[in-house]
Structure 1
């Protein structure tokens, strides 16, 4: 039986990502793998994660999309305005990302030198991040980093910002979405969706949240969907 494995919010935890794939005995020939973005920021190895995801994306059974933290890194790289707060704050985790590309990076005084270095030496990785899709879809599911706008008639008209940033209006929606598919998303640590300190996947009426909060010291989740639409999951705390 072929499985669909969905993982989101890896956040630079390269060794944990590999260990989780090994734990669930991921088989690149038989399994489908869907990755929902936020490959950078927080853990020590964002560059390795990006490079590995980029390599995986060349396989037939692997699909990947981007997340808001991937956008934040690109915004910093392009010296654009901050979306919420400076990229290198501890909560955003940008310093760890920059150091994974530039081990000599110390602080914001090195920003411009680091931007030039990354663009010159990692053009392929940056091109990959810039061209990540905003959502994926199969017969039974919509896969997205943050969610869709439930207040508009056609979900595909959700703005590109909302696909990667939306929170409250999506999570709090208690009606019936005008689609027959379940939405699998990351972005929001599942403890906030459970309403208590639990970090396994959260199952709503038509939504499944899977961000286990590894960026904040909790766990990385893998949602496993069988062809019969049975849902199981595996989790792993950081081994990085």
Structure 2
């Protein structure tokens, strides 16, 4: 039995299928998805249907990302927010063209049921972006930070290798959790093609929305699995999504 944390998918169904095959996922494995399932490549609606079906055979935990918030709002209201349209929303809307109203409602319920974060029994936190409260996620002043914050990752990068946990300047918000797994900020921004580790934070977004791969990490062994680059899986498309 394994637990795999999986990075941002961004409409790349081919990447998800390939990644799970390469990781040799079985029904005994627990899968924790870190959010941003839609916007980017052409199969956003198809990704959501695949994940719904996958949850029938595997224990799956779905964290909500900022792109998922936008898509959920559209499925509920059919109002196309300009900021969403500029960041991959049009492709997602197009992917729903052949879906019935009943199917769209099913997908809406799927988005509504997503977690804003997940905390396991070993105090490992799984969240799309981050949080700012020194008291931890339970006392965060706005849930928006859960899917938009970047300061957690930026802080971890700055502090990495410079301090120890017992140091007086070790960040208080990191002390609550043994490990933190995030997506949201592509490691390609730092010229890295694989998940990155800083202090006790793991960033699993390896830029599948752009020229990178979709990644998963075994949270116990830290073994990494990856798909091909999404641009190679969708050679006739240009991923325009921004995380």
The TM-score, its normalising length taken from structure 1, stands at 0.81
- Work out whether residues 125 and 177 of structure 2, in 8 Å CA contact, stay in contact via their aligned partners in 1: no
- 1:64-75 matched pairs, under 5 angstroms: 64-75=62-73
Residue 169 to residue 61, structure 1, CA distance change in 2 (3 Å): closer
Match for residue 186 of structure 1 among 183, 186, 203: 183
Match for residue 106 of structure 2 among 124, 127, 131: 124
**Match of residue 154 from structure 1:** 136
Residue 128 to residue 198, structure 1, CA distance change in 2 (3 Å): same
Residue 81 to residue 178, structure 1, CA distance change in 2 (3 Å): farther
Take 1:215 and 1:172, find their aligned partners in 2: how far apart are those partners?
24
Match for residue 31 of structure 1 among 29, 32, 35: 29
**1:122 offset after TM fit, Å?**
1.4
**Match of residue 223 from structure 2:** 232
**1:8 offset after TM fit, Å?**
2.0
Superposition RMSD in Å: 2.1
Say if 2:128 is the partner of 1:145.
yes
**Match of residue 112 from structure 1:** none
Say if 2:84 is the partner of 1:87.
yes
- Work out whether residues 153 and 178 of structure 1, in 8 Å CA contact, stay in contact via their aligned partners in 2: no
Q: Which range moved further: 134-143 or 181-190? A: 134-143
**Match of residue 221 from structure 1:** 215
Match for residue 100 of structure 1 among 95, 114, 120: 95
**1:88 offset after TM fit, Å?**
1.7
- Work out whether residues 117 and 126 of structure 2, in 8 Å CA contact, stay in contact via their aligned partners in 1: yes
**Match of residue 209 from structure 1:** 203
Match for residue 48 of structure 2 among 33, 47, 50: 50
Take 2:79 and 2:134, find their aligned partners in 1: how far apart are those partners?
29
**1:148 offset after TM fit, Å?**
2.2
The TM-score, its normalising length taken from structure 2, stands at 0.80
Query: Any unmatched runs of 5+ in structure 2?
Result: 160-169, 235-243
**1:126 offset after TM fit, Å?**
1.1
Take 2:74 and 2:193, find their aligned partners in 1: how far apart are those partners?
30
Residue 162 to residue 80, structure 1, CA distance change in 2 (3 Å): farther
**1:146 offset after TM fit, Å?**
0.8
Take 1:23 and 1:14, find their aligned partners in 2: how far apart are those partners?
14
Say if 2:11 is the partner of 1:12.
yes
Total equivalences in the alignment: 214
CA deviation vs aligned residue, 1:201-227 (integer Å, no higher than 9, x gap): 0101110000011111211111122xx
Residue 167 to residue 180, structure 1, CA distance change in 2 (3 Å): closer
**1:180 offset after TM fit, Å?**
3.8
